[in-house]
């Protein structure tokens, strides 16, 4: 059996090495002090290889945050189902989000992003825009449920942000800004259930 790397497999490995090295650099040095040169050196690849995958430091950071979301413990985000009750679908989505918000690597990188954004609002807007290039899973779900006539909203993005805020008030901002410990499983379940019930009381 041929175990040699194909060009595609080698490219995937280099991309993974760049992301891993970038995470270490951002956490060690912060956003401003991290450079593509330092990321390339830590990853053991050329600077050109880094830029082939990520056109800028902001794009690299956004890719890291998306990868953390996609690899969070709860697996793939469920798509909207017209034949199933709304509450268990929403609970599954929120528990996946809470799994990510319980991830220390994600929280640490969020602190890096917030610190960078405070010093440069323009950079913060760019990072947010890049992270939002693919519409957030919860917004996709709310949009589909509204289109199906099961949620009463003409602004799915606004409704989705409201729901996310109900969660982040307990499972993101206290941890990022005040160093509080991540929520335990029982606390996550309580926050998710309360948020879903409030959301459905307003929009269902």
Q: Which residue has the higher pLDDT, 99 or 199?
A: 199
Q: What is the mean pLDDT of residues 156-169?
A: 94
Mean pLDDT of the chain, nearest integer: 85
**pLDDT one-digit tens code per residue, 77-96:** 688 999 999 999 999 999 98
For residue 204, pLDDT beyond 80: yes
Residue range 152-163: average pLDDT? 95
Q: Is residue 2's pLDDT more than 50?
A: no
pLDDT for residue 191 is more than 80: yes
pLDDT for the residue 110 = 79
Contact between residue 77 and residue 137 where contact means Cβ atoms under 8 Å apart: yes
Q: Which domains does the chain have, with CATH numbers?
A: 1-54 (1.10.10.60), 62-203 (1.10.357.10)
- The conformation of residue 172, written as its DSSP 8-state character, comes to T
Q: Averaged over 114-120, what is the pLDDT?
A: 76
Instruction: Quickly tell me which residue has 């929009």 as its tokens.
Output: 203
Long-range contacts of 14-17 (CB under 8 A, 24+ apart): 14/43, 14/45, 14/49, 14/53, 15/53, 17/43, 17/44, 17/45
pLDDT at residue 135 is higher than 60: no
pLDDT given at position 1: 42
Say how far apart CA 113 and CA 127 lie, in whole Å. 8
Between 74 and 91, name the one with better pLDDT. 91
Q: How confident is the model at residue 107 (pLDDT cuts 50, 70, 90)?
A: confident
pTM attached to this predicted model: 0.71
Residue 113 vs residue 50, higher pLDDT? 50
């Amino acid at each position: 059996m041929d175990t040699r790397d194909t060009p595609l497999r080698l490219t995937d490995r280099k991309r993974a090495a760049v992301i891993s090295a970038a995470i270490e650099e951002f956490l060690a040095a912060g956003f401003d002090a991290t450079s593509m040169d330092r990321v390339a050196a830590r990853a053991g690849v050329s600077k050109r290889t880094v830029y082939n995958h990520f056109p800028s430091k902001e794009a690299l950071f956004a890719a890291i945050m998306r990868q953390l979301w996609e690899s969070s413990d709860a697996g793939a985000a469920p798509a909207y189902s017209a034949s199933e009750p709304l509450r268990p679908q929403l609970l599954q989505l929120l528990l996946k989000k809470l799994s990510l918000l319980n991830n220390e690597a994600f929280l640490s990188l969020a602190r890096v992003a917030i610190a960078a954004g405070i010093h440069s609002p323009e950079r913060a807007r760019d990072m947010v825009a890049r992270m939002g290039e693919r519409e957030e899973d919860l917004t996709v779900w709310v949009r589909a449920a509204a289109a199906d006539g099961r949620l009463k909203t003409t602004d799915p993005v606004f409704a989705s942000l409201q729901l996310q805020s109900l969660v982040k008030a307990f499972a993101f901002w206290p941890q990022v800004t005040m160093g509080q410990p991540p929520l335990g499983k029982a606390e996550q379940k309580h926050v998710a259930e309360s948020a879903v019930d409030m959301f459905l009381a307003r929009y269902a």
